[in-house]
Structure formats: C-alpha cells, structure tokens
Amino acid sequence: MAHADLHFHASAPLAALLTAVTASPAAALREVAAAGFRDVQFDARQSGLRPRELDRSARRGLAADLRRLELRPAGIDMWIPPEHFLDSARVDHAVHALLATIELAGELGGMPVSLALPRPKTSDHQGRDVLTTIRDACHRSGAMVADHALPLRETEADEAIGIGIDPASLLASGEDPCAAVHAHAEHVISARLSDLDGTGMRGPIGHQDGRLDWRGYQIALSAAGYKRPVVVDSRRWPEPWTGCRQTLALWTGGRA
C-alpha cells in the first residue's frame, strides 16, 4: 500500500516528445495539450524547430504558442553522434548546431539539452576544447546539457553539464535504472521514460514483457529529489502517440 501511496503523491510530471505526433509543430503542440500533457520536449532536428532556422519572430511565436496552450518547455533533444565532436571534419558543424540549441534552450527558460557527450582522452585537446566551449555556452545562456552517454559520467558539481537517465538504454547495457538514479541523484537533470520488451525493442511502460520496474523508477526519482518533468521517450516506438497517452495514464494512476 505504501508503494501505491508514493505512486500517487510523488509522481514527477511527464513531458511528451513533440515528434510523437505526426503533424506540424503548431498542430502537434495543440494535440499534446489536448491529451493532458502540461510539459513538452522538443527535438532540435524537427522541421520547423531547428534552432538555426528560427529567427526572433519565430521564437517569440513559439513562446506565445506555449503560453496560450499552457504548456511548459521541458527540454530539447539534440542527438548528435558523440564521435562527431572528435572528428576534425565534422566538429565545427556539430558544435555550431549544439550551440544554437543551447541558446534556444536558454531563451525558453534555461532547459536542459539532451545528448550524448564525447569522452575525450586527456591528450585529446580538441575534445577537451569542445567541452569547454559547451560549458561556456551554457553559462552564457542559463541552459544546461544533460549527458546521456554510457557509462554515466562520474561528475562533480557542475552547473553546465549534468546527467541524463534513459532507462531503456541502461537496461540494454545491463544496468538498473533505479540504481543509476540513486547513484547519481545530485546530478540528474533530465530523466526519460521508456521500457524494453522481451525482444529488446523500445516501447511504453505497461507491456506484459516490460523489463523496467517503472513504479520503482518513479519512487527512485522522488527519493532523489528530482523535480523536472520526465520525458516520455517515444523514439522508435511502434505507435508513439498511442504509447505516450497510455504511459501518461499509467504514470498518473488514471488521473490524466
């Protein structure tokens, strides 16, 4: 019974990935709000939302749409392959794209930008310079970077770079998402929600073959003091939008 009480009273809100809805960003925002989500996660690669293509007018319009629909921006995904930051032929493009995303995240309220950062060796000056550039951009904008690279980084307090938790990726690597939350509680700045079924495919919580103890994960986040929205990570789900709505209903105990 205590387990159920924690489930109902300590749930972090859920954020829907805007790309789960197959529509223009404006129409997708309306659909997300109508479904009962109050938070939304953007994808910087989505047509109509690429930061370097958004002028001031478009950014003001996006902020106005969010206010009108009473939606809060939870964060921005920017899944640049980490090796691009260490490749001299691709690093400039990767860094410029990420810096534009960090700037937009700052303008929308200092949200975390989710990606997997490289792990440069001590002798890799280019890679270390990239991380310094990213930190400097975060400090200027007020945004943060949530690093989802595995294994999870051993980090000290850092206002710019924190840890992102993706249960499906952790499960695929043989790790326990709940234990990961406990181990890195002070540094988790973005948590996601996605399960793996018995065949190793990503999908929503509630599947009969699901491997994630999502109620335990919910409790672990609460115990860790996690206050941000949990991103319903519907990437590579068979039916993303249906799965998002089912996940919202389960996570909130039918209160969605």
Measured from the Cβ of residue 23, the count of other Cβ atoms closer than 10 Å reads 14
**CA–CA separation, 231 and 40 (whole Å):** 8
Using 50, 70 and 90 to split pLDDT, how confident is the model at 121?
confident
DSSP-assigned letter for residue 196: E
The full set of domain ranges for the chain reads 2-251
Q: Which of 24-38, 55-69, 112-126 has the lowest mean pLDDT?
A: 112-126
DSSP-assigned letter for residue 9: H
List, as one string, the DSSP characters of 80-126.
--GGGGG-TTTHHHHHHHHHHHHHHHHHTTSPEEEE------TT-HH
Asked if the model's pLDDT at residue 50 lies above 70, the reply is yes
Bridge partner residues of 42 (DSSP): 76
The token duo for 41 is 């996660």
Q: Are strands 188-193 and 161-165 parallel, antiparallel or unpaired?
A: parallel
Using 50, 70 and 90 to split pLDDT, how confident is the model at 9?
very low
Rounded mean pLDDT of 24-37? 97
Q: Which fold has domain 2-251?
A: TIM Barrel (3.20.20)
The token duo for 100 is 């534009």
- The pLDDT, as a whole number, for residue 154 is 80
Measured from the Cβ of residue 86, the count of other Cβ atoms closer than 10 Å reads 18
The beta strands (E) that lie in the chain are given as 14-17, 39-43, 72-77, 112-115, 144-147, 161-165, 188-193, 195-196, 202-203, 230-232
Q: Is 191 helix (H, G, I), strand (E, B) or coil?
A: strand
Rounded mean pLDDT of 32-37? 98
- The pLDDT, as a whole number, for residue 157 is 58
Evaluate the omega torsion of the peptide bond into residue 177 and state whether it is cis, within 30 degrees of 0.
no
- The pLDDT, as a whole number, for residue 226 is 96
- The pLDDT, as a whole number, for residue 155 is 67
- The pLDDT, as a whole number, for residue 2 is 43
Q: Is 148 helix (H, G, I), strand (E, B) or coil?
A: coil
pLDDT above 70 covers a percentage of the chain that reads 94
